[in-house]
Structure 1
């Protein structure tokens, strides 16, 4: 790698289906990308290699998104290697499903720790360290509006993410840093397919006005927009779901 890139992005959950494609898209847009991973080092490092082979700047960093020390080290890595941070794309999260009556409260604690505390941790660091003209892009889900049984713990955590986003956008008044949340609909990723029959998957796709599932590329398009030209979009929840309710 040569030269210093003008803009730098951290992508949490960058080894996952949506996070990986978002990292690739921002690298294609000219960003240096720091690809965070928790448990899939091989996939993160493969993405780094692919970006570098295409002439981009990338590196991988490990850590627990809910651990402030791990994430502080990740932000320090980005600043040390690339000179600063402009964009945070916070895709990391977990989605165990269970009806409320059968929900293991230990699982609920884990969901809230990763999805809610994790958002507070990385958003706090971003608020402290992003340069002027930056963007914080959190992730929620369109399921908050679809009321699908079994998703209560997950959607409760993502409702909290939306609240954090709306307030942080106003707390950063005068900093020229936008804060938004993307709420994808059903998206063709390994996480979505897990535990679903072909009949269920086909039914979900057919119910969408676009008659298909979303793709990680659909979501990455919205991330690219919010990370780049969308300077007048702030404090919003953007539903990227093909028209699902």
Structure 2
């Protein structure tokens, strides 16, 4: 049976790194795109892994990396996970057009046009997953650009699902809550306690959902946004 190929954006660290490792362990060939130079850990995972450096906010670099994928042995993509994302939390009065454009181009535009590009050669039964955020549905001051980008991802998910239905490609978004990617020893008891699940999220929580959605038996899940936040956004908070 032909080995499947997963394309993961933003794979250098955090959730993206966990996604890369999880799909490699599941037997996929994996290509990851990140604007960072190749990190040290990638060199130890060389078998089955291709690392492409690219700033997805740049139209020129985005088009270049899409051409590079086409020309490689891994040209056909079975699973696309658009995880790359930028955030910048600044007072609203200090938000610049450049910052807005960089966040929207990285978080939204690149995901849409990578989806368009790979879907043209994606086999029937392909999977596209876009990483959104619970911040698409709730906010704090200074989060306008990031919130807008994640809200756009949720919306474009069901639009893509509709557009790609005849190709039997499913498109879903995942909205992580607090996913801690650093040293968990620094977390406080209250950080865990405030979640219904009584712990802060881990990158593996997102990777498991992506593997589940990639399974051929998950074909009936389509056009959905799946919240993974330990119940945090269902919590009623008020003054006692």
TM-score range, shorter chain: 0.7 to 0.9
* Correspondence 1:62 to 2:48: no
Q: Does the aligned pair in 1 maintain the 2:137–2:151 contact within 8 Å?
A: no
Residue number in structure 1 paired with 2:116: 124
Output the CA distance in 2 between the equivalents of 1:220 and 1:179.
Answer: 16
Uncovered stretches (5+) of structure 2, i.e. residues with no partner: 234-240
Query: What count of residue pairs does the alignment treat as equivalent?
Result: 230
Uncovered stretches (5+) of structure 1, i.e. residues with no partner: none
* Correspondence 1:148 to 2:143: no
Output the CA distance in 1 between the equivalents of 2:92 and 2:62.
Answer: 31
Post-superposition shift, 1:34? 0.4
* Correspondence 1:33 to 2:37: no
Task: Check 1:227–1:74 CA distance in 2 against 1; reply closer, same or farther (3 A cut).
Answer: farther
Q: Does the aligned pair in 2 maintain the 1:165–1:181 contact within 8 Å?
A: yes
* Correspondence 1:82 to 2:54: no
Residue number in structure 2 paired with 1:50: 45
Output the CA distance in 2 between the equivalents of 1:126 and 1:137.
Answer: 12
TM-score by length of 1: 0.84
What SS does the aligned partner of 1:174 have?
helix
Output the CA distance in 2 between the equivalents of 1:163 and 1:95.
Answer: 19
Residue number in structure 1 paired with 2:20: 23
Output the CA distance in 2 between the equivalents of 1:77 and 1:33.
Answer: 14
* Correspondence 1:222 to 2:214: no
What SS does the aligned partner of 1:60 have?
strand
Task: Tell which deviates more after alignment, 102-111 or 139-148.
Answer: 102-111
Residue number in structure 2 paired with 1:177: 169
Task: Check 1:159–1:9 CA distance in 2 against 1; reply closer, same or farther (3 A cut).
Answer: same
What SS does the aligned partner of 2:232 have?
coil
- What does the per-residue CA deviation read over 1:56-80, in whole Å, with 9 as the maximum and x for residues that have no partner? x111111122345534443454452
Output the CA distance in 2 between the equivalents of 1:122 and 1:202.
Answer: 40
* Correspondence 1:242 to 2:216: no
What SS does the aligned partner of 2:230 have?
coil
Residue number in structure 1 paired with 2:237: none
TM-score by length of 2: 0.86
